Amino acid sequence: MTPTSASAKASTRRSASATSSPSSPPWPAAVVPEDPLEQLPRGAVVAVAMSGGVDSSLVAARVADSGLQAFAITLELWPGDREMGARNCCSTDAVHDARAVATDLGLAHHVWNLEPEFDDRVIREFEDEYAAGRTPNPCVRCNERVKFGLLLDRARAAGATHIATGHYARVGRRGRRFSLHRARDSRRDQSYVLHRLSQAQLARAVFPLGAVAGKGDVRAEAEARGLATAGKAESQDLCIAGDSLRRELARRLAGRFQPGPLLDATGRLVGEHAGLPFYTVGQRSGVAVAPGRPDAAPLYVLELRPSDNGIVVGSRELLAKRSLEAADCSWTDRAPAAGMPCAAQMRAHGAELACRVAYADVRGELHLELIDPAEQIAPGQSVVLYRDGEVLGGGLIRAAA
């Protein structure tokens, strides 16, 4: 199913609460099960996506205990995976650990190499976004196009009806429609990077850890079950994180990115930058200026300009924005109405900010009005809207004012 598009102009207030919506949603509350495995129909076949970490290992154990038919899958997505250490989810060590746990649980384990597809569906856009002076978030695209796209399709072709992962999020239902919600453990919530999942994808997604109160509970249960991965360090959020990615991007982008002018808000040259991909809006570290600059106040990145390979820097107060525009929006169920109060999140582990939908339409645009000024709104990042912990959807930030 193709997600509905929308456009809206938003303004966000820093909110102490993750559920700071002043009025009730214009539709009935969704029913969110405590244990999603208990809600699966008899005869369901579950493909468990295993990264070799403690989270997906516990998911595999719970699926095995459920009595449902199941098998396990580990993906190879990036050529550098095999040279990474055990903390990365697709390394050689991780594949070995996933296979060991699956074998102990009596689950058939498969390793599927999707490197070409991952490169085509995630990495190339990653490069193009950098080239356009934006700060991309590949995890969002990977979940949409690979883990709950290609992987789900292949798992279904292999006989699975559902796919279970170690993501911290929850799926609910409102009549015949599915909804996506924050995990109970707000510190580990991953609904932000899952916000583009369609109704068809949510119908097949199972997140058994969504109701877990904390990581300590996961480790305690894994230890009680005797899982070999119970004591492993946490894996990187970004599967392709690490030196191998940086080296490969440096090779691919050689010649596309060069040092360029560092300008203040008036257009005055104040220094030189090392290349657009090394900076993002709001960044302070790494912003070097010419010696003898009279104003010693710290400088922050305000804008990346690929048109002239320039970066605009200025004082922190110039980062504050009261509205933003997003494009390529995807809505979990329906587009929010103009005037709807909600909360926005603009980084994978960022705080919620109170906002109001100014405009949303089916062409994929979103305008938000921020209740209080917000900093570090980086074009290319996703803005995700929430209402009482439920994901409404989101899109790619294009501009802020």
Q: What is the distance between the alpha carbons of residues 44 and 33, in angstroms, rounded to a whole number?
A: 17
**CA separation, residue 184 to residues 139, 171, 338 (Å):** 21, 12, 29
| Residue of 202, 207, 182 whose CA lies nearest to 49 | 207
Cβ-based neighbours of 200, under 8 Å, separated by 6 or more: 1
In the chain, the amino acid numbered 58 is: L
SS3 category, 183: coil
**CA separation, residue 119 to residues 112, 122, 196, 327, 376 (Å):** 15, 6, 19, 23, 28
First-to-last alpha carbon distance for the chain, in angstroms, is 33
Phi-psi region of 255 (alpha: psi -120 to 50; beta: other; left: phi over 0): left
Residues 63, 55 contacting (CB under 8 angstroms): no
The phi, psi pair for 374, rounded to 5°, reads -125, 150
Can you read off the two tokens belonging to residue 58?
């516990």
Q: What is the distance between the alpha carbons of residues 61 and 354, in angstroms, rounded to a whole number?
A: 39
Can you read off the two tokens belonging to residue 219?
């480790």
Q: Which of 142, 329, 342, 355 is catalytic?
A: 142
Question: Is 142 one of the annotated active-site residues of the chain?
Answer: yes
Give 136-140 contacts, CB < 8 A, sequence gap 24+.
136/380, 136/381, 137/193, 137/348, 137/380, 137/381, 137/382, 138/238, 138/240, 139/193, 139/237, 139/238, 139/239, 139/348, 140/192, 140/193, 140/195, 140/196, 140/382
Pairing of strands 205-206, 177-182: unpaired
Question: Is 89 one of the annotated active-site residues of the chain?
Answer: no
Q: Which of 239, 329, 342, 355 is catalytic?
A: 239
Residues 331, 304 contacting (CB under 8 angstroms): no
Q: What is the distance between the alpha carbons of residues 153 and 388, in angstroms, rounded to a whole number?
A: 31
Catalytic site residues? 142, 239
